[in-house]
Structure 1
Amino acid sequence: MLLNTDMARLDVMETFHNISFPGHLHTQDSLNYAIHFPFQDTDTVIATYPKSGTTWMQEIVTFVKNGGDPHLSKTVPNWTRAPWLEQYYSPEVLGASQGHRVITTHLPYHLLANALQDSKAKVIYVTRNPKDVAVSYYYFHKMANFLPEPNSFDEFLDQFLEGKVNYGSWFDHVKGWTSQARVNFFYISYEEIWLDLQGCMERISSFLECPLVEKDLTRSVRHCSFSSMRDNTMVNYTLIPNEIMDHSKGHFMRKGKIGDWRNTFTEEQIGRFDNVYNSLMQNCPLTFLYECPPNS
């Protein structure tokens, strides 16, 4: 669906419930559609803040749901396999979906709370350490022509810490979703997936009640490796025209490593980030892995 869009609204921003969204992908109608969406009990919802492992989880769920068969992953773009609920094309794609649906969202929990309240849909929420999120999001802004061009990382970091970026505050997003203690919610971190992809796939397949036999699990792990996804045109967004996503300015799937933030943050920026984090997350029990363990 994204391939059929023209270059309209690349410079438009939509404000919805005091949160900014890129107008190229979102409209007031599509955002209202999302928050009133009639979830089905058989739905699987992947919820993330941007640049936190969304694409990786879409790929993992694709393989789990399809018994390790790589056909869909190799032939259908991820935005069609697991469409974003709040984007303009969602009603058409979801309306044509048959059977168990996989739905992706970047919306904060409070906007979907009512829609999810009485549903038994299974929700997977993926977190990532916020320093790597900030760096990855910054570089994504540099290549995505539907997002504001950042003048510098220092300026972007200020906006990130203040929650004045598209999709709102990382702090509010993570606290909102992870404060929900519900049996049909599954929480996992990007770092866990990076360090133990097979173990995470086993846990996710158990949560989704789609167990994988050993040979299918092995095949799924191979196809869901970061390097395999980076080379898959159905996953790496190289199908998107340069006018929308300028591939000469970077790769959608850049490095993906744990702790790459150290190559961008200055000592002053680390201190500034830590002060805001400690203030806003003081009552949050979550801990994040900021460095890749030795020999991993």
Structure 2
Amino acid sequence: MSKHRKKFIALVDKAMADGKKMAPEEQMFSYKGILYPTTVCSLEVFKALESFEARSDDVFLAGYPKSGTNWVGQILTDLVLTSAKHNEDENNLDDDELEEFPYLEVGDPEKYQRMANLPSRRVIFTHLQPDNLPNSVFKNKAKILLLIRNPKDVATSFYYFTNGIAALPSYTTWENFFTAFMNGEMAWGSYFDYVFEWNKHADDSNVMTITYEELKEVTLGVKHISEFFDLHLTDEEIQGVVDRSSFQAMKENSDKTHGALGNVLFRKGSVSDWKNLFNEDHNQKMDSMFEERLSGTKLGRKIKYDIYCKP
């Protein structure tokens, strides 16, 4: 197990334990109008994040929660580690002292000083909207893989996730959750705001957008990702990453990679699970919101709403 997984599990275990001691209203705080989990984020961290210096060769993964970032993050990390085997400095990547929790906005205020000591390439995940990322990310043209997923499956996955993790408020009914989701009262804010804001960067040369749905064709998607980040892997190495990042393989290994969170993160990994929860009223409200906010945008079209979100 890579060293950063030890830190991942330790941080998650602490967040789960802290969350159990909190009242629901204490589990989230607001920063710039967006809610974040108190157990893993803080105002001090966001203030310190402003001074974070991104590098042009950083490997960023951006995605709204429950869009598949843990799955695709595993793919990205594996690609970078596999590519690093061609590099004589690869052993630096396994230095326990040089590993950090992969999500940029999660951790302690001193995290960014430590990250300055990480060797390139740094693999960094984030759920943040682009305006809340440090200015250096876009100034230095760090490459960003933007992952998006259809909103109905995101909502469905988020519902089961938030009810399965003590660090987030739980919901007694799907109806209550759906109302909160549509109102953007979620950790990391509104799905619709997230995609709308990232759409402003859809044509940036340093941003590649891929959908959760199209990544089900894993081999082709992994190859495109590798090419975007100039990782220069052989077909055999690509296939190795594909084999290790299958949903079944990750689910079976989740206790080692994600600890107690594994069973919650890797629940189904399917497309169209929303049909088990949405009724006619939910569909109408979601369809109207998507039409109003995203249907005319580049990212909205890429989601292929009519294929993945219509009964």
TM over 0.5: yes
Provide closer, same or farther for how the CA distance between residues 76 and 106 of structure 1 changes in structure 2, counting only shifts above 3 A: farther
Matches within 5 A, 1:160-199: 160-180=181-201, 181-194=203-216, 196-199=217-220
Higher mean alpha-carbon deviation, 135-144 vs 88-97, is at 88-97
- Deviation digits for residues 112-151 of structure 1, max 9, x if unmatched? 2623231121111000000000000000011111110112
Provide closer, same or farther for how the CA distance between residues 93 and 267 of structure 1 changes in structure 2, counting only shifts above 3 A: farther
Letter in 2 for 1:103: I
Matches within 5 A, 1:14-25: 14-25=29-40
Provide closer, same or farther for how the CA distance between residues 69 and 41 of structure 1 changes in structure 2, counting only shifts above 3 A: closer
Provide closer, same or farther for how the CA distance between residues 261 and 176 of structure 1 changes in structure 2, counting only shifts above 3 A: same
Higher mean alpha-carbon deviation, 113-122 vs 96-105, is at 113-122
Higher mean alpha-carbon deviation, 265-274 vs 45-54, is at 265-274
Specify the alignment match of 2:112 in structure 1.
91
- Deviation digits for residues 51-98 of structure 1, max 9, x if unmatched? 0010121111122212279999xx999xx5761111124437624522
User: Which whole-Å CA distance do the structure 2 matches of 1:167 and 1:265 have between them?
Assistant: 23
User: Which whole-Å CA distance do the structure 1 matches of 2:135 and 2:76 have between them?
Assistant: 25
In the alignment, structure 2 segments of 5+ residues that lack a partner are 1-6
Provide closer, same or farther for how the CA distance between residues 113 and 283 of structure 1 changes in structure 2, counting only shifts above 3 A: farther
Q: Secondary structure at the match of 2:181?
A: helix
Quick one: which of 25, 33, 36 aligns to 2:48? 33
Q: Secondary structure at the match of 1:206?
A: helix
The answer to whether the aligner puts 1:272 opposite 2:294 as a matched pair is no
User: Which whole-Å CA distance do the structure 2 matches of 1:208 and 1:234 have between them?
Assistant: 29
Aligned-residue Cα RMSD (Å) equals 2.7
The answer to whether the aligner puts 1:233 opposite 2:254 as a matched pair is yes
Paired residue total: 279
Specify the alignment match of 1:103 in structure 2.
124
Specify the alignment match of 1:252 in structure 2.
265
Specify the alignment match of 1:262 in structure 2.
275
In the alignment, structure 1 segments of 5+ residues that lack a partner are none
Higher mean alpha-carbon deviation, 2-11 vs 281-290, is at 2-11
The two structures have a TM-score, normalised by structure 1, of: 0.85
Higher mean alpha-carbon deviation, 90-99 vs 250-259, is at 90-99
Letter in 2 for 1:40: R
Whether contact under 8 Å (2:145, 2:209) holds in the other structure is yes
The answer to whether the aligner puts 1:56 opposite 2:71 as a matched pair is yes
User: Which whole-Å CA distance do the structure 2 matches of 1:173 and 1:92 have between them?
Assistant: 28
User: Which whole-Å CA distance do the structure 2 matches of 1:36 and 1:235 have between them?
Assistant: 33
Task: Give the % identical residues.
Answer: 27
Letter in 1 for 2:64: Y
- Deviation digits for residues 200-237 of structure 1, max 9, x if unmatched? 11101110101221211121111111111111136752
User: Which whole-Å CA distance do the structure 1 matches of 2:84 and 2:135 have between them?
Assistant: 35
Higher mean alpha-carbon deviation, 176-185 vs 135-144, is at 176-185
Higher mean alpha-carbon deviation, 137-146 vs 60-69, is at 60-69
Higher helix fraction: Structure 1 or Structure 2? Answer: 2
The two structures have a TM-score, normalised by structure 2, of: 0.81
User: Which whole-Å CA distance do the structure 2 matches of 1:109 and 1:283 have between them?
Assistant: 20
Specify the alignment match of 2:152 in structure 1.
131
User: Which whole-Å CA distance do the structure 2 matches of 1:225 and 1:197 have between them?
Assistant: 8
Whether contact under 8 Å (1:48, 1:127) holds in the other structure is yes
Whether contact under 8 Å (1:82, 1:104) holds in the other structure is no
User: Which whole-Å CA distance do the structure 2 matches of 1:48 and 1:109 have between them?
Assistant: 11
Higher mean alpha-carbon deviation, 8-17 vs 209-218, is at 8-17
Letter in 2 for 1:94: M
Whether contact under 8 Å (1:122, 1:184) holds in the other structure is yes
- Deviation digits for residues 234-272 of structure 1, max 9, x if unmatched? 6752x14xxxx5x7xx63211111111101111221112
User: Which whole-Å CA distance do the structure 1 matches of 2:146 and 2:246 have between them?
Assistant: 19
Whether contact under 8 Å (1:229, 1:235) holds in the other structure is no
